[in-house]
A and B are shown apart, each in its own frame.
Chain A
Amino acid sequence: MIKISKLSKTYSTGTFTVPALKGISLEIEPGEFVAITGASGSGKSTMMNLLGLLDRPSAGSYILDGMDVSNLDDNEYASLRNRKIGFVFQAFNLLPRLTALKNVELSMLYAGIKLEERRKRAVEGLTLLGLEDRLHHFPNELSGGQNQRVAIARALANQPAIILADEPTGALDSQTGLEIMSIFQELNRHGTTVVLVTHELNIAQHSRRILRMADGLLVADEEVTHPLDAREELQALREKGAEA
């Protein structure tokens, strides 16, 4: 699915050059649930930008879904982002003046899918995430958890190769965060490859593999033997709430 080798990224600001990634190699197989963690400044954001084709590496190679994408132009990047990658952001990044439905349609719009088909698939996607009665609401009329679910529906709309989630629970309370994590786990159970970028260890524990970064290097690559199950945690939380 993803194969990167000796990937590095250096930012130059005039006189200074700052190495953000210092040559990272790793592979992610289809159907994996990977969390990338690290303190701020560890290079995980740069990593996420490179994986998400928002930025170009300074050196190294990146093979996505069997295709070498290290040396493509802006248009090809845009097209690959559109088809292969589904972004979920901390701040949801929905367009505030569009309804939930229109927001989900947006990525399909850029894929050139016809209006009727877009509408049908957007309704299906939102229904799957339990938002069938929120189709025509604007983002400011929805709760944080609902907004993030709209964003997930949007990320899934073009059936991407991977879901790239950048601190997806960062703006949510812990219970809502767990709800979102349970969605990712559910998606992963059905075969979707999920790459999660987070600095919260307990969130990372929901994945099945944790990549730890520090100073632009990959310092650990651990399998999670007993991932936390967000559904069970939620159940427990609700029981506790009912007792109290």
Chain B
Amino acid sequence: MNIGELVLVAIESIKSNKLRSFLTTLGIVIGIAAVIAVVGIGQGGRAMLMTEMEKFGTNLFGLWVNYRDGESFRIDDLSINDISVIKENVPQVKYLAPVTYNQMPLRGSKGQKTVQVIGTTAEYAQIRNLEMAWGRFIRDDDAAVGRRIIVLDEKTAVKLFGPGNPVGKRVMIMSNSAVVVGVIKSDSSMLGFNSQQVAYMPWSFLCRLTDWKVIHELQGSAESKEEVETAMNLAKKILERRHNAPNHYYAYSMEQEMQSANKVTGIMTLVIGCIAGISLLVGGIGVMNIMLVSVTERTREIGIRMALGARRKDILIQFIIESIVLCLLGGFIGIIIGYGGALLVAKLAKWPPLVSVWTVVLAVGFSMAVGLFFGIYPANKASKMDPIEALRRD
């Protein structure tokens, strides 16, 4: 008797008691659906996170003081001359800009707001992929000529001047004033990275306003993804040499950040997936339970089959296949429900639904394994029956 025939016998037997078969496999349905949904949602969320982070620029790197290892910030740690030296000596560095942060109250014709002001240079726009809504960003000649200008983001612009193009209008910064030359598009990032309100001005102008020549951080981008590592390490070496301060600087890259974020979301998906997997285990025990009942109930059938010439092996395989087919069936239903769930969440959260082929293959494989594992004991019990006893039973 071949496996194909036995599969048919199993399907026949499952079909002949539809309600019970469904209830038996319900645990598997729920378990697989939970795993698929969790993994699908997790992978979708991760992909979403990655595209969000890529908006910052994948080739991005930064240099600052190595606070991590207890180094503290000195006012002359980063100088504007470092930038030109690094750019001359490290060909992998494409753009490099100073970044100085300062909270400042800004006042426009319609309102006021204290925002994060970033003092930087023209290249910052390329490094951070900034897009203009109106006007222009800081230019190289702004610093040279000493223009008193400011670039707002859309939200700040609305706050200060109301809707409409504010280019050419004046912003009061305490007792000073600056002319708005451009407005940056604030994109609606889901993760809220860009939700903070920011304004940009030439680094030299900010220094003059605050009377403090300081650079908090250097941000740059490399020629390519592969060169980020080299670019930032070489830049760091130059800083160490120029300031004679080994281990004083710390370099980070978006690539690294993405990798660690990837790791975190991966671990989270795994943990939640494992919890969902426990429900699969419970489902498997449910299958075993009903299979055991079914074996007892079908004692007579087993006896008849044996009398007609079924070997113990035939009975064993019949029940194992029944269990596997049952679990596979549950697995397929679970995949459909789980995928539906992941799709729904993805639609609501506006991120791509990702149920990889591997997840599905794994789910199918796992439900088969559950069927096999939890089917063996009941099947073994069935095959060990004494045909005379079995035939006598009602």
Contact = CB atoms under 8 A, between A and B. Distances in A.
Interface of A: 49, 52, 54-55, 74-75, 78-79, 81-83, 87, 89, 93-95, 97-98, 102, 106-107, 109-112, 115, 154, 158
A184 B16 CA distance: 33
A114 B313 CA distance: 19
5 contacts: A78-B310, A78-B311, A109-B9, A115-B5, A158-B309
A158 B309 CA distance: 11
B388 A81 contact: no
Q: Is the interface of B mostly helix, strand, loop or mixed?
A: helix
A106 B311 contact: no
Nearest to B298: A95
B308 interface: yes
A74 B316 CA distance: 14
B373 to A, nearest CB: 25
A93 B16 CA distance: 18
Contact of A110 (B13, B312, B314): B314
A46 B105 CA distance: 104
Contacts of A54: 306-307, 387-388, 391
B13 A97 contact: yes
Given A78-B311, A89-B391, A106 B305 contact: yes
Contacts of B2: 112
Contacts of B387: 54
Closest 9 CB pairs of A and B: A82-B309, A97-B16, A110-B309, A78-B311, A107-B308, A93-B304, A81-B309, A75-B311, A54-B387
A110 B300 contact: no
B301 interface: yes
Nearest to A107: B308
Nearest to A76: B311
Given A75-B312, A112-B1, 12 more contacts: A75-B313, A78-B310, A78-B311, A81-B308, A89-B391, A93-B391, A97-B13, A98-B12, A102-B12, A110-B308, A110-B309, A110-B314
Contacts of A83: 309
A75 B300 CA distance: 20
Contacts of A89: 391
Contacts of A74: 311-312
B108 to A, nearest CB: 82
Contacts of B391: 54, 89, 93
A106 B312 contact: no
Given A54-B388, A79-B309, A83-B309, A109 B16 contact: no
Interface in B310-360: 310-314
Contacts of B301: 95
Nearest to B5: A109
Interface in B1-43: 1-2, 5, 9, 12-13, 16-17
Contacts of A87: 307-308
Interface string B277-309: 000000000000000000000001101111111
Tell me which of B9, B12, B16, B387 has the highest count of chain A C-beta atoms within 10 A of its own C-beta.
B387
Contacts of A97: 12-13, 16-17
Contacts of A81: 306-309
Nearest to A87: B307
Contacts of B13: 97
